[in-house]
Amino acid sequence: MDKEISFLPDACMDCLFKSTCNQIAGQEENNFLFLNPIQQNYKKGEVIMKQGMKTNHLVYLHKGIVKFNYEDNNNKNLILAITKAPTILGLANVLNEDINVFSILAIEECSGCLIDLNKLKMLIMSNRLFMLNIMKMSTGMFRKSIVKIISMAHKPTVGRIAEILIDLSKNVYQNDSFVLSVSRQEFAEYAGCSKVNVIHTLQNFAADGIIKVSGKKIEILNPERLMKISQIE
């Protein structure tokens, strides 16, 4: 993990989390929460939060892309979500026992600000409006992941892979042409299928003129047809 770097509060005035807190908490409370903020840099592949381990901070991710990993009792790894900055990591721990229910890893170089979890909980206990907004932020983020998992559970492999391509294009890379930050194996863990299934499906999509594949670079040529495939159940 790279060396932590302290920086002045004025340097994070554009922070989405801080802006939200400013709207629902007083100046004194915000000064308490954001006193001496620390920026943390993460290398590709570095663990930001580890499943089953106790944590004492949240991370406001302001640069990079991360994946949410869950390892089951059979040591099988599943990717629950892939998301980009800006976002808040670790909100589930606000309502739990500070134990990470999954791992969060950087899939490219990332940077974020550490937010003291104990300080946040103190504000939640003393400010009901603050508590309600934090809960709303937390449940809103996980609602999207749960809906996606349920949606993909009822689809065949081609539908799941098509849905992931659309999600990456629209919500992560925000472009029809992008370079994957994950390997084919990681893509398979996200789609809930084998690596061979992913490779063959991408090849078939390319042969049908739906996408163009060149190594890790993917270009969606026919988004309408890809969307129809993603809706197959």
Is the distance from CB of 56 to CB of 171 less than 8 angstroms?
A: no
Give the class (CATH, top level) of 154-230. Answer: mainly alpha
Q: Please give the pLDDT value at position 99.
A: 82
Alpha carbon of 13 to those of 8, 19, 40, 70, 219: distances in Å?
10, 7, 17, 33, 36
The reply to whether the predicted model has a pTM over 0.85 is no
CATH topology of domain 5-148: Jelly Rolls (2.60.120)
Q: Do domains 5-148 and 154-230 have the same CATH topology?
A: no
Q: How far apart, in Å, do the first and last CA atoms of the chain sit? A: 43
Evaluate the CA torsion angle 216, 65, 69, 41 in order and state its sign. positive
Q: Please give the pLDDT value at position 79.
A: 92
User: Region 84-112: what's the mean pLDDT?
Assistant: 84
The closest alpha carbon to 91, from 49, 129, 126, 53, belongs to 49
Residue that has been written with the tokens 């689809």 in this structure: 155
pLDDT, one tens digit per residue, over 184-227 is 999 999 999 999 999 999 999 999 999 999 999 999 999 999 99
Instruction: Enumerate the domain spans of the chain.
Output: 5-148, 154-230
What is the band of 114 on the pLDDT scale with cuts at 50, 70, 90? confident
Distance CA 68, CA 105 (A): 7
DSSP at 50: -
pLDDT, one tens digit per residue, over 6-30 is 443 444 545 656 666 666 666 666 6
Q: Please give the pLDDT value at position 41.
A: 94
Evaluate the CA torsion angle 7, 3, 47, 51 in order and state its sign. negative
Chain centroid to CA 45? 14
Q: Please give the pLDDT value at position 38.
A: 80
pLDDT, one tens digit per residue, over 129-180 is 777 777 776 666 667 777 777 778 789 999 999 999 999 999 999 999 999 9
